[in-house]
Amino acid sequence: MKIVILDGYSANPGDLSWQELKTMGSVTVYDRTKPGETVERAAGADIVLTNKVIVGREEMARLPHLKYIGVLATGYNVVDVVAARERGIVVTNVPAYSTESVAQMVFAHLLTVTNRVEHYAIENRRGRWSANPDFCYWDFPHTELAGKTFGIVGLGNIGSRVAAIALAFGMKVKALTSKASADLPPGIVKADLDELFETSDVLSLHCPLTDATRHIVNAETLSRMKPTAIVINTGRGPLVDDRAVAEALERGTIAAYAADVITEEPPRADNPLLSQPKAFITPHIAWASTEARVRLLQVAIGNVRAFIEGTPRNVVNA
């Protein structure tokens, strides 16, 4: 069994091991693969693992031995699942491995905006507190979360976990969700899009990227928000219109934007959010805690083993 990993570095930059996978066949690991290299590198492979390298209809047509594509992520839009189904190629993903880590990042971002801990730590390393005439100082208003309204777009695994944490902070939680009100956990109120944008003090995005949700945060929806509102995106970059958010921050339409994802990754150097002082951007690392990556590899390798044994699991193109 020939197994090729097209972009293994992000999930495993060297601190984890592919050894278990190597017991199942001949394994070649590439840290990164450019689009034009995919077919050459995967030539003759029975099994291909990919994180962000696209395996589309054209690539599959040129890989006649390919039987299985394992996505090293939950989202599987990098694979043409229709073409794979037509060719009898099994496609799997790794669901829910990063729920806790992403939910934690949501509140790391939120607390960055409301408390600015790192700012003060840096200032104090420079001697500012030691030279201060008073016993304390602050450069930004500090915001208490208790009693504020936390709006959530999408109430899947991550959205539900985020809701539970928000409730633990004493926040009021509203959610835009397809679930019926009677099926929501205690403390979560179902809301429509207009209500969510108009009443949320914090709005956090946890929905899939579809034609309906692309740029769900745009100039028009931002204009409905409170000027003190904070928008958080740990979902998908294109859920927001980057330029519209940057302009809203510049005008004071909203107070802050915190995101772990951006429309184009890596972003262009001239992306307006990167230079906006009220935007707090991390480089798509919410999923990447050591614990989450261990789970990711365990499930991904288990998916391969299950496929080889004839009982595939986590199949997304059945």
> What's the pLDDT at 310?
97
- Can 118 be counted among the known catalytic residues? no
Give the pLDDT confidence of 236-294 residue by residue, as tens digits: 999 999 999 999 999 999 999 999 999 999 999 999 999 999 999 999 999 999 999 99
Q: Is the dihedral of CA 66, 97, 54, 5 positive or negative?
A: negative
> What's the pLDDT at 217?
98
> What's the pLDDT at 144?
97
> What's the pLDDT at 1?
94
> What's the pLDDT at 117?
97
> What's the pLDDT at 267?
97
Q: Is the dihedral of CA 66, 70, 76, 78 positive or negative?
A: negative
- Can 236 be counted among the known catalytic residues? yes
Q: Name residues of the chain where pLDDT drops below 70.
A: none
| Cβ neighbours for 46, distance < 8 A, ≥ 6 positions apart | 1, 2, 3, 25, 65, 66, 67, 68
Order of strands, edge to edge, in the sheet holding 68-71? 26-29, 2-5, 47-50, 68-71, 90-92
Q: Which residues pair with 258 in a beta bridge?
A: 232, 280
Marked catalytic residue, from 161, 236, 293, 295: 236
Q: For residue 280, which of 239, 244, 245, 316 has the smallest C-alpha distance?
A: 245
> What's the pLDDT at 245?
98
Marked catalytic residue, from 116, 161, 206, 284: 284
| Cβ neighbours for 145, distance < 8 A, ≥ 6 positions apart | 110, 114, 166, 169, 170, 171, 202
Marked catalytic residue, from 20, 58, 265, 291: 265
- Can 264 be counted among the known catalytic residues? no
